[in-house]
Amino acid sequence: MIEALALPKAELRLKRKKNVVYVWCILRKKELVCTPEEWVRQHVIHYLINEANISIGRIASEYPLEYNGLKKRADVVVFDSESKPFLIVECKATSVPVSTKTLDQIAQYNSQLQVPWLWLTNGLRHVHCRIDSVEASLVFGEGIPVLHH
């Protein structure tokens, strides 16, 4: 579960209780079970804060939304300086490949949020996508996105 990722090292607070590892979420201000997906999500959150210099107040984790009448949660949503959604991040465990299925999932979320940036990651592979509304196209790239916010 706790493994090296293709993300900058994050200073995460971990605690073990009865053979279960918990990680402190700086956004939700509580301990969460450190599942493989949560491990990736917490590294992404720390990357956004410490490397991309996005203030904590502009980042939401497990952001609630609705799609076709179903309640969903986006892993991470980043808001711009005008409080409009700017980036959706979909995090998967390292054992889950970044695939078209992952893209379909994040596209559903974006049908509600209408952001210009998408980032899919399993902690080892990162695919980002800029939505070009003028050309009505998607511009894909590999690696961690360089965000201009």
Structural domains in the chain plus CATH codes:
14-142 (3.90.1570)
Residues 81-100, mean pLDDT to the nearest whole number: 94
Query: What string of DSSP letters covers the chain?
Result: -----SS------EEEETTEEEEEETTTTEEEE--HHHHHHHHHHHHHHHTS---GGGEEEEEEEEETTEEEEEEEEEE-TTS-EEEEEEE--TTSPP-HHHHHHHHHHHHHH--SEEEEE-SS-EEEEEEETTTTEEEEEESS-----
Give the global pTM: 0.91
Tell me: the pLDDT tens digits for 49-86? 999 999 999 999 999 998 888 999 999 999 998 999 99
Tell me: the pLDDT tens digits for 103-118? 888 989 998 999 999 9
